[in-house]
Amino acid sequence: MKNYCNVTESSMEDKANGSVDTKSPVENGQLPDPSNWGVADVVNYFKATGFEEQATAFQDQEIDGKSLLLMTRNDVLTGLSIKLGPALKIYEYHVKPLQTQHLKSNES
């Protein structure tokens, strides 16, 4: 299991207006490759990025790294039964960048 708490200084920073800045954990200057993650690794990743409550949805649906890389926007928004706001942030700031990073690393 990976420990993402040591990878990022602060997963989420509260801002004065109450909004939250979501940050992706970065390893060696780039996003991690989840292709070999187990369900627990996916859950730990989302807990480390500030989505502790939503991380249980990935556990409940048994989403491992390979499944995470196959998820569509609709899967995240409707398939996990989590609130729309966090679901949008999870997809846009975490799932989509992880998928893009994975594709780029497999092209070379």
What would the pLDDT profile of 38-75 be if each residue is shown by its tens digit?
Answer: 999 999 999 999 999 999 999 999 999 999 999 999 99
List, in sequence order, every residue forming a beta bridge with 20; answer none if it has no partner. 14
pLDDT value at residue 61: 98
The CB density around residue 22, as the number of other CB atoms within 10 Å, is 17
pLDDT reading at 2 higher than 60: no
For the chain, what is the largest distance between any 2 Cα atoms, rounded to a whole number of angstroms?
42
pLDDT value at residue 30: 75
CA distance 68 to 58: 9
Position of tokens 């048994």?
Answer: 62
pLDDT value at residue 92: 98
Closest CA to 24 of 3, 43, 7: 7
Distance between start and end Cα atoms, the chain = 26
CA distances from 79 to 31, 36, 71 (A): 24, 22, 10
